[in-house]
Chains A and B, each alone.
Chain A
Amino acid sequence: MILDLHLHSELSDDSRAPVEAYLKVLQRKRAERPLDGIVLTEHRQFDPARDYRALEDRYGFLILNAAEVETDYGHVLVYGVNPDILARFDFSDVRLSAQALVTDVARLGGIALPCHPGRATVGLCDHYARKPPLEGVVAVEALNGGSKKGEDARVEELVQRFGYKAYGGSDSHLVSFVGVCATEFDAPIRSMDDLVAQLRDGRYRPVDFRAR
């Protein structure tokens, strides 16, 4: 099961990509990017009313909703967002406490995973150089489709040193970039509950579909 765990649609302020256009690209490029689904991670927001079931039925891809939020340790993807998590955190706040997010999202049934940790200034690597490591981090995004040269390489040390699991995502803001990086899971995933359970305890790895 291969999912792109990190991408943005036109609901994010810096993307103009319609969700359906992503699916059309994945359908057309199935041979080079064999994905089974996508997880939308809109910036600083989560709308529980979003429903992509009609698109799932039409295109045959799993479509799940998550969020990318901003913290004192950089950007973090939150999976399994529910009313309790939304009541606990204001996702529009760009100064969320990463430790509180990781701890409380897990307590409330979700999982919060740092993304693009190798990125200068906002990445976990730079924050760890200045501050104590976070407790309770399960995995970090070791492959990010938007990374500059060398940024993903910095994450390898983080993974080795702290024993984090590694996942991948395209971080696509443009239609054509969907699925260039993704995560391969050993177990099937049919829902957000499945995804959260697998991210916590399952076996998975980042996969790179970029042209060499």
Chain B
Amino acid sequence: MPLALDPAIIGREFDRTVEGPVTADELVAFARALGETRPEYTEAGPALVAHPTYCVRFRGGRFYPEELLKLIDVRSGFDAGKDIQLGAPVRPGDTIEVRSTVHEVYEKTGRTGSMVFVVIRYTLSNQRGEMLAIVDNRFMHR
């Protein structure tokens, strides 16, 4: 059966969550866990910024909107990759606002049958209103 998706869901914000403030300790720990050695990511001080991939740890307060949960069997699935557009760097003391929207929902067929892909866009900004990152998180369900 075709996916009975209401197109109005696309682009609509379904969650807005504020997290933080970010601490220097967690930025350093995150970078070191990656094996990062560059001082701008691993040494506390005025020059410290978050490693660029730090932005993927933010997922907002709700993974999917209610409408999608009724439409797709989300009991099984896996992370199918991310596209990240980086903005201003995250710094210690920043609070992070995460706005979640459904960016895209589509179907495709592969070797193992039909699949549904959901792309949730997380738009991250700091307390100064600067865009930190736009993360398109792709998840596959069948």
Which residues does A use to contact B, with CB under 8 Å? Answer: 13, 43-44, 70, 74-75, 92-95, 119-122
What are 8 residue pairs bridging A and B, where the CB atoms are less than 8 Å apart in the complex? Answer: A43-B108, A70-B108, A70-B109, A95-B2, A121-B110, A121-B112, A121-B113, A122-B111
Chain A residues lying within 8 Å of B114, measured Cβ to Cβ, are: 94
Which residues does B use to contact A, with CB under 8 Å? Answer: 2, 106-114, 117, 138
The B interface, classified by DSSP as helix, strand, loop or mixed, is strand
| CB–CB A93/B2 < 8 A | yes
Closest 5 CB pairs of A and B: A94-B107, A70-B109, A122-B109, A94-B109, A120-B111
Bound form: Cα–Cα A70–B114 in Å = 10
Residue of B whose beta carbon sits closest to that of A119: B111
Chain A residues lying within 8 Å of B108, measured Cβ to Cβ, are: 13, 43-44, 70, 94
The A interface, classified by DSSP as helix, strand, loop or mixed, is loop
Chain B residues lying within 8 Å of A119, measured Cβ to Cβ, are: 111
A13-B117, A92-B106 known; A121 and B2 CB under 8 Å?
no
Shortest beta-carbon distance from A124 to chain B in Å: 13
A13-B117, A93-B2, A95-B2 known; A121 and B111 CB under 8 Å?
yes
Bound form: Cα–Cα A121–B115 in Å = 13
Chain B residues lying within 8 Å of A70, measured Cβ to Cβ, are: 108-109
| CB–CB B106/A122 < 8 A | no
Shortest beta-carbon distance from B133 to chain A in Å: 18
Bound form: Cα–Cα A70–B2 in Å = 13
Residue of A whose beta carbon sits closest to that of B115: A94
Chain B residues lying within 8 Å of A93, measured Cβ to Cβ, are: 2
Residue of A whose beta carbon sits closest to that of B2: A95
Chain B residues lying within 8 Å of A13, measured Cβ to Cβ, are: 106, 108, 117, 138
Residue of A whose beta carbon sits closest to that of B3: A94
Chain B residues lying within 8 Å of A92, measured Cβ to Cβ, are: 106
Residue of A whose beta carbon sits closest to that of B112: A121
Bound form: Cα–Cα A93–B107 in Å = 8
Bound form: Cα–Cα A195–B109 in Å = 27
Bound form: Cα–Cα A18–B113 in Å = 28
Shortest beta-carbon distance from A107 to chain B in Å: 25
Chain A residues lying within 8 Å of B107, measured Cβ to Cβ, are: 94
Residue of B whose beta carbon sits closest to that of A72: B109
Bound form: Cα–Cα A120–B111 in Å = 6
Shortest beta-carbon distance from A54 to chain B in Å: 25
Bound form: Cα–Cα A119–B112 in Å = 10
Shortest beta-carbon distance from B54 to chain A in Å: 22
Bound form: Cα–Cα A95–B3 in Å = 11
- What 18 new A-B contacts, CB under 8 Å, besides A13-B108, A94-B108, A121-B109? A13-B106, A43-B108, A44-B108, A70-B108, A70-B109, A74-B109, A75-B109, A92-B106, A93-B2, A94-B107, A94-B109, A94-B114, A119-B111, A120-B111, A121-B111, A121-B112, A122-B109, A122-B110
